[in-house]
Amino acid sequence: MIVLFLFVASLLVGLPIGVAIGVTTFAGYISLGGGIVDNGFLGMVPSRMFAALNSFAFLAMPFFILAGEIMNKTGITDRILQFAKALVGHWRGGLAHTNMLSSLLFAGVSGSATADAAAFGRTLVPAMVRHGYSRSFACAITAAGSIVGPTVPPSSLMVLYGSIMGVSIAGLFASGILPGVVITLLCMALIMLTGRAKNLPREDIVLSRKAVWAAFKRAFLALLMPAIILGGILGGIVTPTEAAAIAVGYALFIGLFVYKNLKFSDLPGILARTARINGVVFLIVAMASALGWWLGFERIPQNLSATLLAITENKQLVLLMLIGILLVFGMVMDIAAVLIIMGPVLMPIMAQIGLDPIHAGIIVVLALNISLMTPPIGACLFVLASVTGEKIGGIMKELWPYLLLEVTVLLGFAFLPSVALFIPRMLGF
């Protein structure tokens, strides 16, 4: 209880999540005995931190983040937006539909919800406001679409999950395709159903095969990147780490020699931003891994499992409680930290109720992605609030129908394993 209190207190006083986990970790290890002087249990902390990061598969994460940074610098966001607009911009609420479809297409480039929210918060949200949408509604649509990024491959969260849990990252990538598409289509259906009631603007755009083809040609090289990544991984040609390195090379080639809007002088800034992003993530990963060992030593996963199964032996109810735990923890903690700390705690329970590891993975990833839209720590909400000036309360007022819809998708994939595993099984995972 003291360790838990220390963790909560660290967060309340405003310590960064990585530092808060580190403080808690050291307190937990000291409580085991040994302490600093004789280098007992506490001496294991550096080795646990190093072991967490010493993974070939884990290298895929910084490579994918670097590739996304490079592609963002080349201005591909606008090319993807124009292609999506050519496809669905003629519908009522055309820019809202464009926002959702662009999130799906952009996901294959960034793999990050916050990158999606920041990019479209600076571009699409102002455009939607100029065309008659309320800023809160524009931000809500952007937030709803942003979680498609870490769901559809390449997903940094899936790389992290697969590396820690020893689950096939390629299989996880395959499992994320269908949920991402379903979320996008259902959100677009909701926009269509509520468009007349909300009096959403209708753009002065006519669906034209010529316009679609022209927009597709402009966006082709950007759209080709996720195809290369997925094709190589799912085809067994390259590992996820090798595919991520190829993505970096591809992004550099496109930016420097094809679009020619990337300069060598831009690279130090890109590398610095990538280092900052990875530094934060790696600190969380390293500290949370050490904390996870302490949780295991104290038999907290086994105790939690016994407690849940004592409440009920119904597998569906246990799964529902696990999803609730993930959503609640995701509301108050960084999702990478939740994954690393709670993953080793919850995975044995999921295995005990008979969940396939890949099925369990997509449940965890979807639940944590959805928590990116929920206060008080919802990262996407804070990103949108900071770049647009809209209040979080205003965003949530418009967001809640889409939030409920995405929770319904989560529950559907959780309780229908044949659907969740359809694509992975079709590809042999």
With respect to residue 271, please indicate whether it lies within any of the assigned structural domains.
no
Q: Quick one: 193 and 288 in the same domain?
A: no
CA distance 213 to 292: 51
CA distance 10 to 8: 5
* Helix, strand, coil % in the chain, rounded to nearest 5: 80, 0, 20
The pLDDT of residue 110: 61
Q: Tokens 């490579």 belong to which residue? A: 63
Question: pLDDT-derived band of residue 37, with 50, 70 and 90 as boundaries?
Answer: very low
Q: Quick one: 9 and 86 in the same domain?
A: no
Of 274, 296, 318, which marks where a domain is finished?
296
Q: Quick one: 99 and 220 in the same domain?
A: yes
Q: What is the DSSP letter of 255?
A: I
116's tokens: 């999606």
Using DSSP, state whether 92 is helix, strand or coil.
Answer: strand
Q: Which residue intervals of 254-334 are DSSP H helices? A: 267-297, 300-311, 315-332
With respect to residue 276, please indicate whether it lies within any of the assigned structural domains.
no
In degrees and rounded to multiples of 5, residue 306 shows phi and psi of: -65, -40
With respect to residue 401, please indicate whether it lies within any of the assigned structural domains.
yes
Q: Which residue intervals of 111-155 are DSSP H helices? A: 113-122, 124-130, 135-146
The pLDDT of residue 377: 66
Task: Give the mean model confidence (pLDDT) for residues 236-254.
Answer: 83
- pLDDT (tens digit per residue) in 184-225: 999 999 998 887 777 787 777 777 788 889 888 888 887 887
DSSP assignment of 50-72: HHHH--TGGGHHHHHHHHHHHHH
CA distances from 329 to 64, 114, 340, 370, 372 (A): 26, 18, 12, 12, 11
Q: Quick one: 254 and 158 in the same domain?
A: yes
Q: Quick one: 350 and 398 in the same domain?
A: yes
CA distance 156 to 179: 16
Maximum CA extent, the chain = 75
With respect to residue 320, please indicate whether it lies within any of the assigned structural domains.
yes
The 10 Å CB-count burial string (b at 16+, else e) for 258-279 is: ebeebeeebbeebeeebeebbe
The pLDDT of residue 40: 56
The pLDDT of residue 410: 93
Q: Quick one: 194 and 229 in the same domain?
A: yes
Q: Quick one: 44 and 91 in the same domain?
A: no
User: Which residue range is the domain that position 47 belongs to?
Assistant: 1-54+283-296
With respect to residue 268, please indicate whether it lies within any of the assigned structural domains.
no
Quick count: other Cβ atoms within 10 Å of Cβ 348?
13
Nearest to 316 by CA among 339, 350, 348: 350
CA distance 34 to 39: 6
Q: Quick one: 307 and 175 in the same domain?
A: yes
Q: Quick one: 11 and 76 in the same domain?
A: no
Nearest to 230 by CA among 424, 82, 367, 360: 424
Query: Percentage of residues in the chain with pLDDT exceeding 90?
Result: 7
Contact 316/364 with Cβ under 8 angstroms? no
Using DSSP, state whether 73 is helix, strand or coil.
Answer: helix
- pLDDT (tens digit per residue) in 325-377: 888 877 767 777 778 777 777 877 888 888 888 999 899 989 988 888 887 66
141's tokens: 């649509």
CA distance 21 to 285: 10
With respect to residue 361, please indicate whether it lies within any of the assigned structural domains.
yes
235's tokens: 């085809």
Number of domains in the chain: 2
Contacts of 96 (CB under 8 A, 6+ apart): 128, 133, 137, 138, 141, 191, 195, 200
CA distance 50 to 66: 22
Check: pTM over 0.85? Answer yes or no: no
Q: Quick one: 140 and 202 in the same domain?
A: yes
Contacts of 1 (CB under 8 A, 6+ apart): none
CA distances from 184 to 175, 188, 421 (A): 15, 6, 19
CA distance 226 to 223: 6
CA distance 397 to 240: 39
CA distance 28 to 42: 9
Residue 409 has pLDDT above 90, yes or no: yes
- pLDDT (tens digit per residue) in 42-59: 667 777 777 777 777 677
- pLDDT (tens digit per residue) in 119-164: 777 778 888 888 888 888 888 888 888 888 788 887 778 888 887 7
Q: Quick one: 78 and 172 in the same domain?
A: yes
Q: Quick one: 47 and 170 in the same domain?
A: no
With respect to residue 342, please indicate whether it lies within any of the assigned structural domains.
yes
Contact 308/321 with Cβ under 8 angstroms? yes
Contact 293/44 with Cβ under 8 angstroms? yes
CA distance 178 to 15: 37
239's tokens: 């590992």
With respect to residue 315, please indicate whether it lies within any of the assigned structural domains.
yes
